[in-house]
């Protein structure tokens, strides 16, 4: 006796207006195919449970698509990287220890708590900050021109 196929809509939890009807049917087919290919299930898990879990995971993946589209928008990333690079360049210039007044350098580069730092500690913190600014500027340069050596 031939096994009866399950409805394509079975186990699909979709809110009204989320997907067009043809997309809902297609999603049901995709979920059904995934569920069938996951056999054999462990611990006597039922098909309904597996279908619900596949739907949950698919919802998570579909939720990441818009975010991924925003993250991978090369034009926006490039424009923002150019602006950020300009701002970092200004900060880099303004925070050079040689040009920063002594007390301000002490305030900028001393730890918020603990014993007062030595001049060597302040110089080290300033150099660490400068290295981090340089790293951030390199990242911006890479975002602006990925083929740059």
Where in the chain are the domains?
Answer: 21-71, 74-144
Contact in structure between 12 and 31 (CB atoms under 8 Å): yes
Strand, coil or helix: what is 40?
coil
Write down the pLDDT at residue 88.
Answer: 95
The token pair at 144 is: 């602006």
Query: What digits encode the pLDDT tens for the residues 34-62?
Result: 888 887 777 778 888 889 999 998 888 88
Write down the pLDDT at residue 1.
Answer: 47
The 8-class DSSP code of residue 116 comes to P
Contact in structure between 135 and 128 (CB atoms under 8 Å): no
Residue 25: pLDDT band (50, 70, 90) is confident
Contacts of 24 (CB under 8 A, 6+ apart): 9, 12, 14
Calculate the dihedral angle through the C-alpha atoms of 68, 74, 75, 77, rounding to the nearest 10 degrees: 80
Q: Does the pLDDT at position 142 exceed 50?
A: yes
Query: What digits encode the pLDDT tens for the residues 83-141?
Result: 999 999 999 988 887 777 888 888 888 888 888 888 888 888 888 999 999 999 999 99
What are the C-alpha distances in Å from 122 to residues 3, 4, 111? 76, 76, 9
């Amino acid at each position: 006796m031939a096994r009866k196929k399950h409805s394509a809509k079975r186990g699909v939890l979709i809110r009204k207006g989320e997907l067009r009807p043809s997309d809902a049917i297609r999603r049901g087919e995709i979920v059904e195919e995934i569920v069938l290919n996951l056999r054999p299930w462990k611990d006597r898990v039922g098909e309904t449970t597996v279908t619900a879990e596949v739907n949950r995971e698919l919802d998570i993946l579909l939720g990441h698509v818009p975010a991924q589209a925003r993250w991978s928008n090369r034009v926006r990333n490039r424009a923002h990287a150019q602006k950020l690079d300009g701002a970092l360049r200004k900060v880099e210039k303004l925070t050079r220890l040689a040009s920063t007044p002594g007390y301000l350098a002490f305030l900028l580069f001393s730890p918020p708590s603990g014993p007062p730092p030595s001049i060597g500690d302040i110089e080290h913190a300033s150099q660490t900050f400068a290295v981090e600014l340089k790293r951030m500027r390199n990242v911006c340069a890479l975002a602006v021109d990925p083929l740059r050596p």
